[in-house]
Amino acid sequence: MLVEAGAWLDHRLGVGASIREAARHPVPRSSASWWYVFGSCTFAVMVLQFITGMCLATVYAPTADRAWQSLLYLNYNQPLGWFIRALHGWGSNFMIALVCIHLAQVFLFGAYKYPRELTWTAGVVLLLCTLGMAFTGQVLRFDQDAYWGLGIAAAIAGRTPLIGGRVVKIILGGPIIAGDTLSRFFTLHVFVIPAVLIAFVVLHLFLVLKLGINEWPMPGRIVRRETYLAEYHKMVTEDGEPFFPYAAQKDLVAIGLVIAALVVTAAIMGPIGPNGEPDPAIIQTVPRPDFFFLWLFSAFALLPPWTETFLMLTGPVVAIALLFAIPFISGTGEKSFRRRPMSVVLLVMTFMTIGILIYLGTYSPWSPHMEAWSGTPTPVDYVRGRTPLELQGAILIQAKQCRNCHSLGGRGGMRGPALDDTATRLTPNQIVRQILEGGGNMPAYGKNLSPAEVNALVAFLETMHPGDEPPARSSINPAVAPSY
């Protein structure tokens, strides 16, 4: 029955033979490895994203006044809505992770070299599409982070020379972040980027089939334009195996494991957000992007200000151009990572840089703790047995918001140095100068403190030294008491 139906269809479509041929195309025996499963896994998760995305679109309200409520409805009222949201949110994280592993593997194995340059190029487009989906998806999770994330995007775009203001309005769809902005990102996330994604996935897979799967790189086996195709042909005809089932079985196992892991993760971790309502009038907010853009957020905090505009605008362009250029820079030669030390170093350094920036971003030491001044207690040891003047200083440290940027006993902001051992580093005169004039990353407090208050602050800070370390003294005239 099934066979007959298949035959009936194939008689009209006539694609059976080519599908069979594609499935059984010979692959190098060495490439049926567990290292080669990540592309297929990414593809599988992408298909899941399409399915859960369509499910979400049946309930999500893509307008600025309703989107946030519809997310809450999905989380709490819609049967299994929480789980579909969890699958979609974690699916996005999985997909980014898999794309990165796939990219690293392809890079290490030299799979982008001749004749597979175009496959790599299409893959870079797919990477950009994935990141584009992640960013637009984060905007559709229309909460405070989404709102201020758009603000950050607008602020970066606004730095474009000459046309900055106009670029901002095109991105936002209007003069402010509002209904038109969400609709624009909805269109990108649901129509534009998926269309590009599908087109390039087709191209990517077509090229993989046409050019064959990359063989396991052997040190010393050099890629030459003149001979590679013949060598590869010889390899797969003499020592090849049919893709199905020889390589496909490992793909299938890996896909099954990844999907199971995704379902379990989603079930345990639950949906991601939304956090607070996207009401710009709620300014008690600490905007943070999702982890895959956290490293950019960190980089923007750490870049020296004079390089900032230039690097923000040109950095991504240069990085993307370099990614595209890799197969044209080194299209031939050694494939094995054992013979490409610089490539390995480059890859490790890139991943380490991004990893460290993400780690820094998770606790953002450069961000003041906006509630520390009123909400974080003073360590008891720092106020025990102190004079009234010193206690007055301890109160001022809190009341003047010093604690938002300076920690005491490990608690408080980390923007400035911890105050626990200030006295060992600065003499009283230096403390006064620093408070009144600021400097480094500190504002000048001169206008906002009375001399009596400065006096109290210095008295307190002078007690800030470990018991066995004396406070710093001026080397010029150590005997003279501070005067102000």
Cα–Cα distance between 149 and 450 in angstroms, integer?
39
Contact, 429 vs 475, CB < 8 A? no
Nearest distance from C-beta of residue 186 to other proteins, angstroms: 12
- Residues of this chain, 35-94, that bind other proteins according to CB under 8 A: 63-66
The answer to the question of residue 156 lying near other proteins (CB under 8 A) is: yes
Between 44 and 299, name the residue whose CB sits nearer to other proteins: 299
Nearest distance from C-beta of residue 173 to other proteins, angstroms: 5
Backbone angles phi and psi of 323, in degrees to 5: -60, -45
Using CB under 8 A, which of 51, 444, 452, 480 touches other proteins? Answer: 444
Contacts of 126 (CB under 8 A, 6+ apart): 99, 197, 200, 201, 204
Task: Give the per-residue contact string, 170-199, with other proteins (x = CB under 8 A; - = no).
Answer: x-xxxxxxxxxx------------------
- Residues of this chain, 355-384, that bind other proteins according to CB under 8 A: 366-368, 370, 373
- Give me the amino acid identity at 153: A
Nearest Cα to 49, choosing from 268, 266, 205? 266
The answer to the question of residue 279 lying near other proteins (CB under 8 A) is: yes
Using CB under 8 A, which of 17, 281, 329, 342 touches other proteins? Answer: 281
- Residues of this chain, 449-468, that bind other proteins according to CB under 8 A: none
Between 92 and 181, name the residue whose CB sits nearer to other proteins: 181
The answer to the question of residue 17 lying near other proteins (CB under 8 A) is: no
The answer to the question of residue 270 lying near other proteins (CB under 8 A) is: no
Only one of the segments 85-93, 164-172, 193-201, 333-341 lies at the binding site for other proteins (rule: CB under 8 A); that segment is 164-172
Distances (CA, A) of 290 to 149, 153, 361: 10, 14, 10
325: part of which helix (H) or strand (E)?
helix 305-329
Nearest distance from C-beta of residue 42 to other proteins, angstroms: 31
Distances (CA, A) of 447 to 156, 356, 435, 450, 453: 33, 39, 10, 8, 12
- Residues of this chain, 384-423, that bind other proteins according to CB under 8 A: 399-402, 404-405, 413, 415
Between 317 and 476, name the residue whose CB sits nearer to other proteins: 317
The answer to the question of residue 160 lying near other proteins (CB under 8 A) is: yes
Cα–Cα distance between 215 and 175 in angstroms, integer?
53
Nearest distance from C-beta of residue 64 to other proteins, angstroms: 5
- Residues of this chain, 424-443, that bind other proteins according to CB under 8 A: 438, 440-443
Cα–Cα distance between 127 and 133 in angstroms, integer?
10
Using CB under 8 A, which of 276, 287, 331, 409 touches other proteins? Answer: 287
Give 133-170 as a DSSP string. HHHHHHHHS-SHHHHHHHHHHHHHHTTSTTTHHHHHHH
Nearest distance from C-beta of residue 445 to other proteins, angstroms: 7
Between 160 and 463, name the residue whose CB sits nearer to other proteins: 160
Using CB under 8 A, which of 6, 220, 280, 316 touches other proteins? Answer: 280
Nearest distance from C-beta of residue 68 to other proteins, angstroms: 8
Nearest Cα to 482, choosing from 464, 457, 448? 457
Cα–Cα distance between 167 and 171 in angstroms, integer?
6
Using CB under 8 A, which of 198, 260, 286, 356 touches other proteins? Answer: 286
Nearest Cα to 168, choosing from 157, 184, 160? 157
Using CB under 8 A, which of 309, 336, 455, 463 touches other proteins? Answer: 309
Task: Give the per-residue contact string, 234-253, with other proteins (x = CB under 8 A; - = no).
Answer: --------------------
Cα–Cα distance between 135 and 63 in angstroms, integer?
18
* Structure tokens belonging to residue 30: 């060495």
Between 91 and 413, name the residue whose CB sits nearer to other proteins: 413
Distances (CA, A) of 72 to 52, 55, 141, 159: 17, 15, 10, 35
